[in-house]
Amino acid sequence: MPLRWFHNYSAVGNSLGLTALVMCIPVVFLFWALSVKRMKGHVAGLLTLLLITIITTLGYGMPVPVALSAAVLGMVNGLFQIGWIILAAVYLYNLTVESGQLEIIKSSIASLSTDRRLQALLIAFCFSAFMEGTAGMGAPVAVCAAMLIGIGFAPLQAALVCLVGNTQPVPFGPLGVPTIMMASVTRIDDHVLARAVGMDMVVLALIIPIFMLVVMAGWKSAIDVLPAALVAGGSYAITCLLVTRYLGPELPALLSSVVSIVSLVVFLKLWKPRQIWRFPNDPDAAGEASKKHSVWQVIYAWTPFLVLMIVMCIWSVPEFKLWMLNASHLVVNIPAWPFLDGIVYRNVPIVAKPTLYAASYRWEVSTAPGTAIFFASLISIVLLRVSPARAVRVFVKSLNQMKIALITLASVVGIAYVANYSGMSYTLALALAFYTGKLFPVVSPVIGWMGVFLTGSVTSSAVLFGKLQQVTALQIGINPVLTTSANLAGGVTGKLISPQSLAISCAATGMAGRETDIFRKTWRYSLILLGIIIALVVVEAYILPGIVPRDVLAPVAAGTG
């Protein structure tokens, strides 16, 4: 095995286009396996992982031990970094069920409205955005989908609604990490970038509540609750616009979601839809609404989620994270991942000169979002008076629920790591950039969308393609803030079909192995939202080019490094 292995983005026939076509095979296979063949998620994931490993070793000449090591590193990250979040979220939900408080939660939501559309707005749009602002990494979909199932949504419907509803807060959650990471990669001022991304997310915030309801109930039923959708989306949009303009990237998702929750709750106290909308075969809505509970009973029932909100806010404070890290020393740290670190080098034009693509594993257990959710679960065990024996049984039950989902999650994150370390992700992005020329702003969101499909993360997509977006923009003479913000905006639409997101939603809703069912429904919505982002970018690039702020750095400085 060589001591050093360099990316070659045109390895097949010395042609970028031909290499991109070959490297599309695993992506096309995964689409086919999920949408046409309807394979179970873990089967499709494992087969795609095998296929991408074979193709990258043959096509790029990537050493087999290096490819396998990248796959294992991805699988470990999937199991512990992300899987821990979902397991903890499912455990918290199951504790609420076990304690018998879920029925009171259902009736408390019904007291606001028994209308399923309004319940979806409150949980899948408003509360999901709050969870994104504090935790991210799949926690919003996991927690909110479980909550919707608890109040009577079918698992598939809950997963679909949450995937669509958790869109506009993503570039700013948790605490602005994706936008801050993009700024770090490109050296663009993070406040400038936040303003640019914020404009796109303001538009999405106005669209997503209505779009989510159309997906859930159809156009006519969605229009019937248009006032509520406008209150939820409008209050979020206005707050997001102000926060991104004056405060920066850290707080838009958090503050906007809180304002949206309060605004919608107050509005629902004053306004009711003309007709209550329910799913076919739903339980009697009047029966739900007639159950009366005292204020104290309602607060007590919501204790797990109130505790979760408080704990997540505390866990998101950098000073608290540092204190926890120093106090607990609970860190799994492998600074040089075997057979991978020190071997792979990224190459021109992704970087100015061959640069080591480091590989390490670090899991800060005490400060991880999953640990925060698990800590909230432990507090809830005490407050809900669940005995230790019952709590252990519920945890084992939750783990059994997650078995297949964890296999799926490990495999799809493994795919992402092989795609990144082999150079496949870069080849596909470079091909898009090379063959589009002056139309590059149109494909900038597509590159972000593709990055999230491959990696499952808007942050990872920013790391992968941020510099490419910036350098290409400078080469063709357009504002690089436009293309880098487009990468983030396009990326959020890719989360709807990312195998990682599908695995998370299936794990949270007890549908392990049914990723295909969700994918067949979400892919068209992902493309519709991507089309909206592309239209926004076209307006910003060609019709109103001055609307996107420019970086304070000179172009030369912005394009180096």
Q: Compute how many other C-beta atoms are within 10 angstroms of the C-beta atom of residue 163.
A: 29
Amino acid 152 reads G
Consecutive 10-residue runs of the chain (561 residues): their mean pLDDT? 86 94 90 81 88 96 95 88 79 85 75 88 91 74 84 89 92 80 80 92 95 93 95 96 88 89 92 89 62 81 83 81 86 93 91 90 86 91 93 90 79 84 86 82 90 79 77 80 93 88 82 83 92 94 86 42 28
3-state secondary structure of 522: helix
Residue 136: the pLDDT is 66
Closest CA to 12 of 427, 518, 357, 465: 427
Beta-carbon contacts of residue 157 (< 8 Å; ≥ 6 apart) = 148, 216, 279
Dihedral sign (CA 72, 455, 501, 331): positive
Residues 412 and 78 sit within 8 Å (Cβ to Cβ):
yes
Q: Two tokens at 326?
A: 């120093």
Q: In the β-sheet with 5-6, what is the strand arrangement from edge to edge? A: 5-6, 344-346, 355-356
Residue 304: the pLDDT is 86
CA distance 316 to 424: 34
CA dihedral 278, 282, 288, 290 (to 10 degrees): 80
Token look-up 């629902």 returns 268
Token look-up 């019709």 returns 543
Largest Cα separation within the chain, whole Å, is: 72
Token look-up 């404009």 returns 199
pTM score, whole prediction: 0.75
φ/ψ of residue 174, rounded to 5: -80, 135
DSSP 8-state secondary structure symbol assigned to residue 170: G
Domain boundaries, the chain: 5-274+295-558
Residue 559: the pLDDT is 33
Residue 426: the pLDDT is 84
Dihedral sign (CA 329, 332, 338, 341): negative
